[in-house]
Amino acid sequence: MPFAIHPWKLIQTGLDLEAIRLSESLMSAGNGYMGMRGNFEEDFSGDTHIGTYIGGVWFPDKTRVGWWKNGYPEYFGKTINAVRMNGVRVRVDGETVDLATLPCEDYLGELDMQSGVISRSFTVQTQKGKSRIAVRRFLSAAQKELMAVSYAVTPDHEAEVECIPYLDGRVKNLDSNYDETFWEMLQEEETENALGLLAKTRQNTFGTPRFAVAAAMSVWADELELKDKTLNEGYVEACYSGTVPANQTAKIEKYVLCFTDRDQNEKLLMTLALKAAARARETGFESLCETHCGVWRARWAACDVEILGDEKAQQGIRYNLYQLLSTYSGDDARLNIGPKGFSGEKYGGGAYWDTEGFCFSMYMAVAGEHVARQLLLYRHMQLDGAYHNARMQGLPGALFPMVTFTGVECHNEWEITFEEIHRNAAIAHAIFDYSTYTGDEGYALSEGLDVLCGIARFYAGRVHFNKRLQKYMIHGVTGPNEYENNVNNNWYTNRMAAWSIAYFCETYEKASEERRDSLGIASGEINRMREISETMYYPEDTKKGVFIQHDTFLDKDLMPASALTAEDRPINKRWSWDRILRSCFLKQADVLQGLYFLNHLYDLDTKKRNFDFYEPMTVHESSLSPCVHAILAAELKYHEKAVEMFERTARLDLDNINRDTDDGLHVTSMAGSWLSIVHGFAGMRTVNGLSFRPFLPGKWKGYAFQLLYRGRRLRAEIGQKSVKLVLLEGEALTLRLYDTSYKLKTTVSAALQ
């Protein structure tokens, strides 16, 4: 499918009917509150995945496994397809506009990242002639409940044109079990200026919340007249038709407002939606669109990353930032960042450790401390669920879930649900990251201390003491490399568990006596925690000078990924799971993930030896893999490898590198492209104050970015010969550039090294 390279747009020229789902994923849009795949407004009878999703609206789909074990989650939580909002059925001279069946010319689709507007134009051939169609759509960044569509038809002959905008609540999930539906239709209503419907997620047996959603539409038309309205169960439509002279344009503007009982009283939802839809029509498409675009212009003014000399990289980083900011705004602490955002249903749509592991640092620097704190509060609000998860495993403390909407684990694969206990450490690390970045330990000493305590108690309960080696160990885990399950003493898990316990003990000592007493920790318990953190076992090979991924990793048949044939790749699609588990190949960073998180604790030689050992065996079949390698490679001055890994994460979806973008975008991994530039190429570190150590990729002529840091706004500009740091807002601060300390008052410049 041809997509042009453009610094601010994703441009689709031509229509490939075999790749519609890929196009739908790439043209996805959202506003933090809701979003949708890039589905056509008009009917399409070909292969399609129609998807509209609302943040925080989900359903507990009963877990169905034939090997039920104690502690299994009762349900698999999944974000569910909501009422279809953008639909407009179109007929010209009685023929339905369907791009799967009608001849189509000059197809052009554009996602304008600068304005947040999606547009399409094409010409269709009917028996009586041709008609040019032009569509624009946006999900408002200024009014979260609003979606608007402008749909125009220009025939080259006198034509009978019908436009039938509709709302359809009779939707299903692509991943539903046994073709089940998740919605109960409650009400359809008509007013003079609007049509609406109300639906509610159906009853479930797990005691999880039900969600009510009301959507209403109002329509403005030119050259067409309202002929009829239809209200059926879960479906409403309005039919506009008329005779349109040759080369004249018939247009409708459709305004949809969607409200949920997450924010409003269920009894008021329909009235709110109907009135809001009518008001939107009075305001008009162009005015609403301009307000929406203004929000996007302000966003870009604060967070743009500029790359000179490489338009593919420029398009990639802006596309990723656009999708991230479309997915999560930080306005609602009850929401988080699903791995697919609003672009699909794969992985269920709940919060993973991806948020803390890969997104948190970016949002803190780009959107500010307030947004980062919202992400921290999300986990604190769900602490009770984390304690429940630990109890289900017969353990003390809090086990934060691998996947969740409420804090209760809702992933149904045992090797993940039971064994990927390293996710706790990512949440502890986010608190550490927030404290060191902002210089404010207020959160760590308040809500954060509760979270750190639960994590430390869990890890202290999960270890066992090995009398032979006089060390604490952790058996039966899956590390970040999911191509190994049920291993003993995964280095990353052990190291991050010990670090998390030590960080809690350190923070505990800083807390007030009253705050410490509230945790109910006896001196014996805190002393044991310190002992665990100080005497944890870490597998290591002193001859090779590397940390061993787990106890028996070196017993495998070790070989580089370059030994794999083209027919072997990707191994997750070509090999049996048994063969993958027995191989030495890594899905993503494991030991290296620890060296990234705890970067300040290890010297360059240690990082180099481990990078040289593990990266050649890594197949990077996780979307989360390339960025960690890019950052470490940059630090080690492996500049070509750093650029290679950045390009992979920056254009993972745009180039469909893993051949799975048709399922939806890899939204959480998109943060990795920003991390690769700022933490990698620019060498930004924040644990011990702010510092930079930039390099310039060989084919780039320069790059620049902005960040928020401790009440300041800074801009970094890296050119072919020099580095310039500019203080845009806030008081002067001290920072390091390469090995020199500077007091940044307005501008600091230095030669590029």
CATH code for position 150:
2.70.98.40
> How many percent of the chain have pLDDT more than 90?
94
Among 141-155, 239-253, 412-426, the minimum mean pLDDT is found in 412-426
Q: What is the pLDDT of residue 348?
A: 84
Of the candidates 560, 583, 603, which is a domain's last residue?
A: 560
Paired with 220 in beta bridges are 253
Its sign, for the CA torsion 518, 385, 426, 464, is positive
Q: What is the pLDDT of residue 474?
A: 98
Cα 213 from Cα 186, distance rounded (Å): 10
- pLDDT at residue 179 above 80? no
Of the candidates 302, 328, 354, which is a domain's last residue?
A: 302
Q: What is the pLDDT of residue 178?
A: 65
Cα 395 from Cα 417, distance rounded (Å): 14
Of the candidates 280, 302, 324, which is a domain's last residue?
A: 302
Report the SS3 class of residue 472.
Answer: strand
The pTM of the whole model exceeds 0.85: yes
Cα 22 from Cα 12, distance rounded (Å): 11
CB atoms within 10 A of CB 747: 11
Instruction: Please compute the mean of the pLDDT values over residues 224-253 and round it to a whole number.
Output: 98
Report which of 41, 43, 49, 42 is spatially closest to residue 20, judged by C-alpha positions.
Answer: 49
Both 399 and 297 in one domain: the answer is no
Both structure tokens of 530: 């310190």
Report the SS3 class of residue 588.
Answer: coil
Cα 330 from Cα 238, distance rounded (Å): 36
Both 281 and 392 in one domain: the answer is no
CB atoms within 10 A of CB 84: 20
Q: What is the pLDDT of residue 284?
A: 98
Roughly what angle, to the nearest 10 degrees, separates helices 625-635 and 639-650?
160
- pLDDT at residue 414 above 80? no
Both structure tokens of 243: 């005779």
Report the SS3 class of residue 265.
Answer: coil
528 inside domain: yes
> How many percent of the chain have pLDDT more than 70?
99
Model confidence pLDDT, tens digit, residues 96-118: 999 999 999 999 999 999 999 99
Active site residue 482: yes
Contact 261, 269 (CB under 8 A): yes
Q: What is the CATH number of the domain that holds 410?
A: 1.50.10.10
- For residue 317, how many C-alpha atoms fall within 13 Å in the half-sphere facing its CB? 24
Contact 505, 533 (CB under 8 A): yes
CB atoms within 10 A of CB 583: 20
Both 283 and 202 in one domain: the answer is yes
28 inside domain: no
Residue 1: pLDDT band by 50, 70, 90 thresholds? low
Report which of 291, 308, 359 is spatially closest to residue 329, judged by C-alpha positions.
Answer: 359
Q: CB burial class (10 A; 0-12, 13-18, 19+) of residue 142?
A: middle
Both 292 and 379 in one domain: the answer is no
State the amino acid at position 65 in one-letter form.
V
The catalytic residue among 41, 253, 482, 484 is: 482
Both structure tokens of 97: 């506009």
Instruction: Please compute the mean of the pLDDT values over residues 546-559 and round it to a whole number.
Output: 98
Structural domains in the chain (count): 2
Residue 685: pLDDT band by 50, 70, 90 thresholds? very high
Q: CB burial class (10 A; 0-12, 13-18, 19+) of residue 190?
A: middle
Both 287 and 372 in one domain: the answer is no
Instruction: Please compute the mean of the pLDDT values over residues 81-94 and round it to a whole number.
Output: 98
Both structure tokens of 741: 């300390």
Strand 235-244 and strand 29-30: the pairing is unpaired
432 inside domain: yes
Strand 740-744 and strand 722-729: the pairing is unpaired
- pLDDT at residue 688 above 70? yes
Q: Which helix (H) or strand (E) holds 296?
A: helix 285-303
Among 118-132, 176-190, 382-396, 440-454, the minimum mean pLDDT is found in 176-190
- pLDDT at residue 362 above 80? yes
Domain that holds residue 388: 368-560
Both 555 and 417 in one domain: the answer is yes
661 inside domain: no
226 inside domain: yes
Model confidence pLDDT, tens digit, residues 31-86: 999 999 999 999 999 999 999 999 999 999 887 777 777 888 888 899 999 999 99
35 inside domain: no
213 inside domain: yes
Model confidence pLDDT, tens digit, residues 443-468: 999 999 999 999 999 999 999 999 99
Report the SS3 class of residue 284.
Answer: coil
